[in-house]
Chain A
Amino acid sequence: MLEAEVLVIGGGIAGLVAAARAADEGLEVLVVDKGSGATYQSAGVVDVMAYPPSQGLFLNPLKGVEVTVKTAPTHPYAIIGRGNEEESVRRVKEAVEYFIDLTSSGIRLEGDIERNVILMNTIGSFKVTCLAPHTIFNGKVDDLSDASLLIAGFRGLLGFNPAFCASGAEYIASKFNVNLKEAMYTWLSHPRLRKFNLTFIELARMMDDDEFRKELGEALRKAVAEREATHIALPTLGFESPEENMKVIEEEADVKVFELISPPPSIPGQRMVKILEECVRKRKVRVIRGYKAAGFREENMRVKEIILESGEKKIPVRVGACILATGKFIGGGLTEEEDMVKEAVFGLPVYDGRGQPLDERKIPKLLVRDPFSQQPLIACGVKVNPQMKPLTLRGKPYENLFAAGSIISGYDYVKERSGIGVAAATGYFAGLNAAYCLKR
């Protein structure tokens, strides 16, 4: 029989941070993951808080956290600080700094936790975020003052039009009062790239090729000389070695180069999970993919066993503590059954964003037809107490079950831009609390 002191269900940001934190306390941790969740689709930048509930844009994420705690008592940020604003801010900061430190051997995350920046994406719009990998952070809108930006497109690349993106850049610059001199675009092609149906993944793989990136640099140098550009934006800078690729192209083309935030499945998002997994493995955490948590056994409100499913086989794992980090609809933590939303592993009750129990009649009201408005269904999930323990149907939590990440209700990461911030903060404290719970 498999055994683990701490079993983490889910291998996204929240699960991996929780695993690393519990392992730091000297515990033996096992992470199981059934496939790939929402983190692979995410932008690969660290959002903390940009638009607190029913507020406008905040340029200081920590101020945003403070306001959130004041206005939304069921928000995970409010729960980790037990309703105290200063405590919440301190804890979010601690968790995000831990995340930066954890990933530092693989990604150079740049930025300041007290300052949001505006970054451009491949569809010519912008994203407000706090920390980003060096290659993306280089293109923050503030830095583009007095710049002549050249956006390089590739013939046949699906979902990326440099002309469209350039007009978007001009709009963003005027919106945020940045004196962007000019936004230009150019079309590139290369004999080794397909001229139709080219995907971001192929382009990214190609970028990692030594010859290709040099040739691309040369082609860009010509384009830069013609148009007197000072900055180049590329749709992606590769999978394996984005920093190095950026340096090579910068040297060849002799201008500043940066990467745009790419659409799902985002290359930076996939890079981030991969690196985080490596970093977590270094801390002696065992990560196994391809296992699905299918059930559990409890005794006296303590989770004793988790049943894992691998093919036809059911494998019980004896656990000391368990962390539920299964995500929402994309990750598979919440499942839609007929007219009801259910928590998939433990059958925990699901609550809406305001902390009220969800029932069948409410669900249609939580879905909004207008694609640009907020979708309240995103904010539903399990309800946790200040120790990060999810409540059961009996109202009491299991003594050794913790929750982390987007399975927790009370926040809308899409609107707030708080995805990785909440994941890291809840993961950090779920891991820490699981360790305390076992030591006691």
Chain B
Amino acid sequence: MEHISKILAEEDISVFTSYEAEVFSQIENCQNCSLCITYCPVFKATSQFYPGPRGIADELSRNVREFWQTKDVVYMCTLCGRCQEVCPKNVPVPEAVKLIRAKIFVQRQNLVPEQLRKLLDNISRYGYIFEPMDREERVESVRGRLERLGLPYIEDAPLDGSKGKVAYFPGCQAETRLLEVKEAGKLVLAKFNVDYGIPEGWKCCGLPVRLIGDGATADTLQKEFFRGMKDAGVSEIVVTCAGCASELKNAAKRLRQQITVRHLVEYLFEEVGIEAIREKATHGGKVRVTLHEPCHLSRHVGRYVIEYAEEILKALPNVEYVGMESADECCGAGGLLKFHFPSIAGKIRSEKLEKILEAEVDFVVTPCPLCVVNISEGVTRRKIGISVDDLTVFLARRLYAG
């Protein structure tokens, strides 16, 4: 056996795992009907050189072994999952894209975009996908951000091993970039007297690593993560990032963990209840708000989370919730596209901005920090007078301050 695997490695031949074989055999269900390309956001933005999900399925169903022919395409995909949703045959194109990226990472490292490889360095160096700020700078930045939002600061509560604690996992984006999301998460949980703690020395959830293609590292990160959680006696994890939510839910299922992972939105709706939220949200003036639906919740977790988020927004006093056209369309940040194809991500984003403008609102909220960063970048560039907030931050402001 060892001898065989050595030869295979020398000859650069890879054998499909049973999971890969299953996904690729489902790809063959593609009937070539092209319905997916009507909905593909990347195709809409770049039709000149992107063949769309059908193109990926097409080349794959002819000859799976030559999967690197799709390499320039698989790195353009935002993995928003729209194609699989509209597909009459439920062809798992996004899953196939992930697997091809993983194969390319193992066998043809030189084809992996430079910017993505750089992101991987951050993981080995810091444990986060982005480079963190230094300690003092971070403290200062948190203070400034909270002051601007009018929110109080509370200390991180540790996970001390006592029974029944909920672990709050903020995710890389909230730890290193959008610092207020982490703070707001703590504030919201505290307001509803949730006994929570933040795990110590946590690392990336593994999603970006998996998107880059480094499946082995992602697996290690996730195994370590769940081992740590088990040691801390945790049976419930709450996250504020859509990406972390979908990836950790999948990982918990794959690794057969008895730990429930929920997005804060799910936790609030199911455990705290709409009435309690309505009662405590006494702050803030009259505003018109619309919701952008992150792909990682609406398609990778399930539409019900979006319904929950809508219910929560509708319950807030003085908040007028308005629906937005194609709210579930990708904002362009997905699949790490923003890092290696910023121009395409920008084009997709401008479509999103048009829809936001049409809704005529004061606030766009979304329960995903990655979407927030992307959309607010667009809003700032085009000098649009609309505030972009993470749902957690928006909620914290309604609970604590103006």
Contacts and interface: CB of A to CB of B under 8 A. Distances in A.
Interface of A: 35-38, 40-41, 194, 197, 199-202, 205, 264-265, 270, 288-291, 310-313, 315, 330-332
B260 to A, nearest CB: 11
B249 A201 contact: no
A428 B191 CA distance: 51
Interface stretch (B82-90, B214-222, B353-361, B365-373): B82-90
Interface in B210-254: 249, 253
A313 B302 contact: yes
21 contacts: A35-B85, A35-B88, A36-B35, A37-B88, A40-B86, A194-B47, A199-B37, A199-B47, A201-B34, A201-B37, A202-B47, A264-B35, A265-B33, A265-B38, A270-B38, A288-B303, A289-B303, A290-B303, A310-B302, A312-B253, A331-B88
Contacts of B300: 311
B301 interface: yes
A273 B44 CA distance: 20
B299 to A, nearest CB: 7
B304 A332 contact: no
B88 A199 contact: no
Contacts of A200: 34
Contacts of A41: 33, 35, 88
B48 interface: yes
Nearest to A265: B35
B290 interface: no
Given A36-B35, A38-B88, 15 more contacts: A35-B86, A35-B87, A37-B88, A194-B47, A201-B34, A264-B34, A270-B38, A288-B307, A290-B298, A290-B328, A291-B303, A311-B301, A311-B303, A311-B304, A331-B88
Interface of B: 33-35, 37-38, 44, 47-48, 51, 85-88, 90, 249, 253, 298-304, 307, 328
B88 A315 contact: no
Given A35-B86, A35-B88, A201-B38, A313 B47 contact: no
A310 B249 CA distance: 14
Contact of B85 (A202, A290, A313): A290
A158 to B, nearest CB: 9
B352 to A, nearest CB: 17
B304 A40 contact: no
**Top 5 A-B pairs, shortest CB-CB distance:** A311-B302, A310-B302, A290-B303, A265-B35, A310-B304
Contact of B34 (A35, A199, A330, A331): A199
A270 B300 CA distance: 25
Contacts of B51: 197
Nearest to B81: A290
A313 B304 contact: yes
Contacts of A194: 47-48
Contacts of B253: 312
Contacts of B33: 41, 264-265
Given A36-B35, A41-B33, A265-B33, A312 B302 contact: yes
B293 to A, nearest CB: 10
A353 to B, nearest CB: 23
A36 B88 contact: yes
Contacts of A199: 34, 37, 47
A311 B299 CA distance: 7
B302 A265 contact: no
B37 A290 contact: no
Contacts of B303: 288-291, 310-311
Contacts of A332: 88
A312 B300 CA distance: 10
A332 B86 CA distance: 12
A194 B51 CA distance: 12
A313 B297 CA distance: 12
Contacts of A37: 88
A414 to B, nearest CB: 16
A36 B86 contact: yes
A290 B34 CA distance: 19
Nearest to B52: A199
A439 B298 CA distance: 36
A310 B44 CA distance: 27
Nearest to B89: A330
Q: Which of B37, B301, B302, B307 has the most CB of A within 10 A?
A: B302
A131 to B, nearest CB: 24
A200 B88 CA distance: 19
A200 B52 CA distance: 13
A329 B299 CA distance: 23
A31 to B, nearest CB: 14
B90 to A, nearest CB: 7
A35 B90 contact: yes
B5 to A, nearest CB: 35
Nearest to A327: B88
Contacts of B86: 35-36, 40
A35 B90 CA distance: 9
B150 to A, nearest CB: 35
Contacts of A288: 303, 307
Given A35-B85, A332-B88, A315 B304 contact: yes
B44 A205 contact: yes
A290 B299 contact: yes
Contacts of A330: 88
